A and B are shown apart, each in its own frame.
Chain A
Amino acid sequence: MNKEEVYERLNNVFRDVFDDESIVVKPETTSKDIEDWDSLEHINLIVAVENEFGIKFNMGEVTTMKNVEEMVDIILSRVG
């Protein structure tokens, strides 16, 4: 799986979780850029991403991820 593919699938997950078809995720996207992305919604997003890619984040990653790029790096390192 390459980076573009990950971003494309991630985009769908974000749109689905936040119920907003206009979202376009970029490497530098953070929780500040998406209105509904608060600590409560964060975990829903994490679980949705896990299901989409068939991977598991550990709790440390869940709490320390800073932006979408870091999330993509972790996904790529898991799915190979």
Chain B
Amino acid sequence: MNLTSLVFALFCIITICIYFIVPKKIQWVILLISSLVFLLYDGSLPLNIIKFLLILVPTYFCGLLIEKNKENKKAKIYLTIGIMLIVGQLFYFKYANFFINTINLFLEKFNSENLINNIETNSLIGISYFSLIMISYLVDIYNGICKPQKNPFKCALFMTYFPILTSGPFIRYKDVEEDLYGKHKFDLNRLCNGLMRILWGLFKILVISERCGMFVDTVYGNLDKYFGTFIIVAAGLFTLQLYTNFSGSIDIIMGISEIFGIKLPENFTAPFFSRTITEFWRNWHITLGAWLRDYIFYPVLKSDSMQKFSADLKKRFSKKAVKKITLYVSMLVMWIIIGIWHGGNYTFIIGSGLLQFIFMVLEDLLEPLSNKINKKLGINKETFSYRLYQRIRTFILFSFSMIFFRAKTVEEALTIIFNILVWNPWVLLDNNTLFTAGLDIYEFRVLIISIVILFVVDKLSRTGSVREKLSKQNIVFRWTVTYLLIFGIIIFGCYGSGYNPAEFIYRQF
């Protein structure tokens, strides 16, 4: 179910209505039923149920067994079994073909004719999300952060809570336990707040993301036709497309969950106001970063073998150097995992993994040098212009890495980068050329205005909730903003080919 589809809207409305009609004691049951419908309806039902139970049942029992054997060594064994089963399924469904293709690449090199066939894997929706969520559940029980859920149906709801299945955020059992199974009164204020957030998400997706996509698809789909400036614009617009689509989805998800009375953690905090890539990743996909930090980065750094490794290094290098080396090694491991998590393809491993790692290491290594240069030249880093320069630099670096993320293969990404070198900046000045690539001049104007709105709202959000700020304004202003948002989405939203209200509404003027 697409988050912006009518089916999904209907599905949510029905769930919300029933949720507030039934006795509060069984509200969680309604959420469970809806979640199971959402999870299982696509594809073969019996197969889906098996796949679902294959994760739920072992995790549920491992959780109980870890708690029961807390005082002895068996807890660690059950934890390991639980994690292996979850990771095993995730790898089978998401990455089996990636490994088969990698092996085939080697086989081809040695001229073997016995290539391995790809296997059919239809994974459950949201497998990359609930797998990691269930791993954190088991580890948290092991570490004494939470108690296992004794009711298997309640455990199933935690695993499958439908709003987060498509795009996250990653939740932790301890944070949502009370809300998820608690009793929630209907609250008009919460409903309005939730709807406002959903509207903002729809605006981001339908007005900005889809519109960026029209240009990006045209350019990247015709690489023999578009060069230089076209690709630079497309790379920047793709970054915005990705951001508005992803964070817009999160807005819709958070809005729905807010209506239920279930608080979810924020996943984005105005990432494009970050001054470095390191800071950027603290504001982009925050819950994935936190998950990796707590369940991979810290344990790896703190592990006995890493400690032994750094103790060995200390004999040969200075304390500072050892700190850096161990840090970089663990960062490399983490970024490769982030790359793999995004999907079984080398473009992801390079784009959302290795390149980010390289940028962060370079930022760290070059900082003393840049401080020295700035001091010599008398440049003040705390000025608007310097901050702006840093933000634009971060945006460009991230957009560059996203060329790999967007490309189908590494070769294609390299072709795209090579094609950037074609010098044709006049397409920006010549009115008609730029507007031949999927977006005409009217569409571009709408896009630019909506991007400005996006950045203004993001800027405001850095000093507290924008909705709270809005609620303090007078009623006329509040309703004007709401109506503008609604009509903005209706009129300027892109609803796919064949149905474009903007086509016949605003063009006539």
Contact = CB atoms under 8 A, between A and B. Distances in A.
A60 B145 contact: yes
Interface in B403-430: none
Contact of A60 (B143, B297, B307, B323): B143
Interface of A: 39-40, 42-44, 46-47, 58-64
A62 B302 contact: yes
Nearest to A16: B319
Residue in A39, A40, A58 with the greatest tally of chain B CB atoms within 10 Å: A40
A59 B296 CA distance: 11
B298 interface: yes
Nearest to B360: A40
Residue in A39, A47, A60, A62 with the greatest tally of chain B CB atoms within 10 Å: A60
Contacts of A44: 323
Given A39-B293, A40-B327, A59-B139, A47 B145 contact: no
B323 A63 contact: no
Contacts of B140: 60
A52 to B, nearest CB: 14
Contact of B143 (A39, A43, A59): A59
A61 B143 CA distance: 8
Interface in B96-142: 139-140
Contacts of B298: 42-43, 59, 62-63
B399 to A, nearest CB: 25
A78 to B, nearest CB: 14
Q: Specify the main secondary structure of chain A where it touches its partner.
A: helix
Interface in B278-317: 293-294, 297-299, 301-302, 307
A63 B294 contact: yes
A46 B140 CA distance: 19
A18 to B, nearest CB: 11
A65 B418 CA distance: 49
B88 interface: no
Contact of A59 (B302, B307, B323, B327): B302
A43 B302 CA distance: 7
Nearest to A46: B302
Contacts of B144: 58, 60
B219 to A, nearest CB: 38
Contacts of B323: 44
Given A59-B139, A60-B140, 15 more contacts: A39-B293, A39-B297, A43-B298, A43-B301, A43-B302, A44-B323, A46-B302, A47-B301, A47-B302, A58-B143, A58-B144, A59-B298, A59-B302, A60-B145, A63-B294
Nearest to A58: B143
Contacts of B301: 43, 47
Contacts of B307: 47
A46 B306 CA distance: 14
A44 B294 CA distance: 14
Nearest to A17: B323
A7 B225 CA distance: 67
A59 B299 contact: yes
5 contacts: A43-B301, A59-B139, A60-B145, A63-B294, A63-B298
B89 to A, nearest CB: 24
A42 B307 CA distance: 15
B92 to A, nearest CB: 27
Nearest to B300: A43
Nearest to A63: B294
Contacts of B297: 39, 43
Contacts of A46: 302
A40 B297 CA distance: 9
A12 B323 CA distance: 18
Contacts of A61: 143
A58 B299 CA distance: 10
A57 B144 CA distance: 12
A30 B359 CA distance: 28
A62 B294 CA distance: 9
A58 B145 CA distance: 10
A63 B302 CA distance: 12
A44 B325 CA distance: 13
B252 to A, nearest CB: 29
Contacts of A60: 140, 143-145
Contacts of B293: 39
A70 to B, nearest CB: 14
Nearest to A43: B301
A62 B299 CA distance: 10
Contacts of A42: 298
Contacts of A43: 297-298, 301-302
A64 B297 CA distance: 15
Please provide the 7 A-B residue pairs with the shortest distance between their CB atoms, ordered closest to farther.
A60-B143, A43-B301, A60-B145, A63-B294, A59-B143, A60-B144, A39-B293
Nearest to B174: A64
Nearest to B323: A44
A47 B326 CA distance: 13
A58 B294 CA distance: 12
Contacts of A62: 298, 302
Nearest to B322: A44
A64 B145 contact: yes
Nearest to B301: A43
